[in-house]
């Protein structure tokens, strides 16, 4: 192969690698819905968040993490430090994420049982929630109470929720904002959701930068 051909192939390889790096999401968000209903408005908010990040917010990838298959928390299911396959898969998804997005209605002034169960499984040692930025959305007015309780739980789990903007939606108040499948249609609500996602993105990037600075500083102190 001639020098010119080798140089051309080298440039093409570098350009391909550059494109791959540029397209790689800067942050990965694990999205968890407290409602198991297929046409849930809260699940619709997560789908809308996924679409917004894919189409309008560069550098953010939202992945829906299913919790319906998780067994009820029972430490008898823990064997030699391992968990049931469904739990291990769930915990790994959370562990790999840079931040979390929770969507939950209000159940009796609190979060839903499936969401509490997921939080509890994730908190088993080692706690996969620890140190992660987070945001919460709710599709019904009572979600304010659910979010307040979620934030209280997050204190112990070491989850760091953004404070602004808050996102509450009264989906049952006309005009309708979702279709019969639970898909979000309202453009104003989408803009509000986008604003919240941008806030989560900025907070997550600041958090990651702070962690990286700490590691560098700690390494330098150890070397001295």
Encode pLDDT of 40-55 as tens digits: 999 999 999 999 999 9
pLDDT exceeds cutoff 60 at 78? yes
Phi, psi (rounded to 5 degrees) for 83 = -120, 165
- pLDDT class of 135 with cuts at 50, 70, 90: very high
pLDDT exceeds cutoff 80 at 19? no
Confidence at residue 23, expressed as pLDDT on a 0 to 100 scale: 54
Each residue of 179-200: pLDDT tens digit?
A: 999 999 999 999 999 999 999 9
Confidence at residue 17, expressed as pLDDT on a 0 to 100 scale: 46
SS (H, E, C) the chain: CCHHHHHHHHHHHHHHHHHHHHHCCCEEEEEEECCCCCCCHHHHHHHHHHHHHHHCCCCEEEEECCCCCCCCCCHHHCECCECCHHHHHHHHHHHHCCEEEEECCCECCECCHHHHHHHHHHHCCCCCCCCCEEEEEECCCCHHHHHHHHHHHHHHHCCEECCCCCCECCCCCCCCCECCCCCECCHHHHHHHHHHHHHHHHHHHHHHHHHHHHHHHHHHHHHC
* Top-confidence residue, 110 or 9: 110
Confidence at residue 102, expressed as pLDDT on a 0 to 100 scale: 98
- pLDDT class of 20 with cuts at 50, 70, 90: very low
25 dihedral zone (left: phi>0; alpha: psi -120 to 50; beta): beta
* Top-confidence residue, 77 or 211: 77
Confidence at residue 34, expressed as pLDDT on a 0 to 100 scale: 97
- pLDDT class of 126 with cuts at 50, 70, 90: very high
């Amino acid at each position: 192969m001639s020098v010119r051909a080798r140089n051309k192939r080298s440039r093409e390889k570098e350009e391909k690698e550059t494109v791959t790096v540029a397209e790689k999401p800067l942050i990965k968000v694990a999205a968890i819905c407290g409602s198991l209903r297929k046409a849930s408005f809260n699940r619709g908010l997560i789908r809308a968040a996924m679409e917004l990040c894919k189409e309008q917010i560069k550098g953010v990838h939202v992945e829906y993490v299913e919790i319906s298959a998780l067994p009820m928390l029972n430490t008898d299911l823990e064997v030699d430090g391992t968990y049931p396959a469904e739990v291990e898969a769930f915990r790994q998804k959370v562990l790999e994420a840079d931040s979390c997005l929770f969507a939950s209605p209000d159940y009796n002034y609190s979060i839903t049982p499936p969401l509490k169960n997921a939080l509890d499984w994730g908190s088993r040692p080692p706690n996969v929630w620890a140190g992660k930025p987070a945001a919460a959305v709710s599709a019904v007015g009572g979600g304010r109470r659910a979010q307040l309780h979620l934030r209280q739980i997050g204190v112990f789990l070491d989850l760091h929720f953004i404070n602004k903007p808050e996102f509450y939606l009264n989906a049952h108040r006309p005009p309708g904002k979702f279709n019969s499948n639970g898909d979000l249609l309202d453009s104003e609500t989408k803009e509000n959701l986008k604003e919240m996602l941008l806030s989560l993105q900025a907070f997550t990037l600041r958090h990651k930068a702070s962690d990286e600075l700490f590691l560098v500083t700690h390494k330098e102190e150890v070397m001295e």
